[in-house]
Amino acid sequence: MKSFNKNDSGVVTVDVRETERRPKMEIIPAVDIRGGKCVRLYQGDYNQQTVFNDNPVTVALTWYSQGARWLHIVDLDGAAAGKPKNMEMVQEIMKESGLLIELGGGIRKEEMAEKLLCQGVSRIILGTAAIENRDLVKKLCQQFGEAIAVSLDARDGKIAIHGWRKNTVLEVLQLSREMIDAGVKRFIYTDIKKDGTLTEPNFDMINILLAETNAPVTVAGGITRLEHLRRLKALGVEGAIIGKALYTGDINLGEAIINFGA
Ligand code: AMZ
């Protein structure tokens, strides 16, 4: 793990605390925040929302107590608005939970990315910026390396941006190749049509993506059973993000971590 700091002269420094590669798959619970609450959407549709808890901090503490090290936070208001909207809540989660945080949703500006990483977010996720601002992606990767993840959020194989409300014609593999060229070190792949559906991950696409890229890939969308985690681990994904299945009880986080996690 690395952490970033800004010194009095405004220079960003890096503190390398731990560098070993982790052979195990990281099991990462997801907290999606909208209007300050912990929600899940169905296929990313803002009109199909379930509120699972009024207080995301309580939820984060629960996942921590069950053995999570990382928390995947999506600021859904931020993804729709184009800038983070739930930062107070994210800061509270960081302060209270001790979890390592990966955060996405509305991170589209250099200053914001830098601020978040210096405030203690361990990894930031860029979605829309990967399509609309390649220079930003390049610059951030040069400066922050593995702390930058690009999300490959795809509907029917094509990347979607702006809170998944805008479709593009770009395919997952095309974007992943272009992002590797831009210096991106890790990806998060989400199949939008699987997300929040409690069905199964898109194993076909995950296979293809893993065969194509050497960069670590974390996957999200549709993970509903321990069997899915077993298969994902066998495929060699870096991480598995679980959302709705944790909230419905389809997957018990502690059990998942003991069996398949870091
Ligand atoms: O559920 C959604 N509609 C949604 C979602 N979960 N829209 C965006 N996102 C997430 C992406 C990524 O982590 O998976 O927001 C992040 C990308 O945000 P942006 O603002 O960089 O495109």
Q: What is the pLDDT of residue 18?
A: 41
Q: What is the pLDDT of residue 13?
A: 72
Residue of minimum CA distance from atom 3 in ligand 1: 44
Active site residue: 75, 153, 191, 195, which one?
153
Q: What is the pLDDT of residue 23?
A: 59
Residue of minimum CA distance from atom 15 in ligand 1: 105
Is position 191 annotated as part of the catalytic site?
Answer: no
What are the strands, taking DSSP E only, across the chain?
Answer: 2-6, 12-16, 26-34, 37-42, 45-53, 70-75, 100-104, 123-126, 148-155, 158-161, 166-171, 186-191, 217-220, 239-242
Distance separating alpha carbons of residues 16 and 257, to the nearest angstrom: 25
Check pocket membership of 196 for ligand 1, CB cut-off 6 A.
no
pTM score, whole prediction: 0.93
Is position 153 annotated as part of the catalytic site?
Answer: yes
Residue of minimum CA distance from atom 21 in ligand 1: 127
The CATH class given to the 24-260 domain equals alpha beta
- For every one of its 262 residues, what pLDDT tens digit does the chain have, with 9 covering 90 and above? 667 777 777 777 766 544 343 458 999 999 999 999 999 999 999 999 999 999 999 999 999 999 999 999 999 999 999 999 999 999 999 999 999 999 999 999 999 999 999 999 999 999 999 999 999 999 999 999 999 999 999 999 999 999 999 999 999 999 999 999 999 999 999 999 999 999 999 999 999 999 999 999 999 999 999 999 999 999 999 999 999 999 999 999 999 999 999 6
Check pocket membership of 239 for ligand 1, CB cut-off 6 A.
no
- Rounded to 5°, angle at Cα 212 from 209 and 218: 40
Count the neighbouring beta carbons within 10 Å of the beta carbon of residue 256: 25
How far is the centre of ligand 1, averaged over its atoms, from the C-alpha of 190 (Å)? 10
Check pocket membership of 261 for ligand 1, CB cut-off 6 A.
no
How far is the centre of ligand 1, averaged over its atoms, from the C-alpha of 8 (Å)? 33
Check pocket membership of 243 for ligand 1, CB cut-off 6 A.
no
Distance separating alpha carbons of residues 198 and 221, to the nearest angstrom: 8
User: Which atom of ligand 1 has the smallest separation from the CA of 78?
Assistant: 20
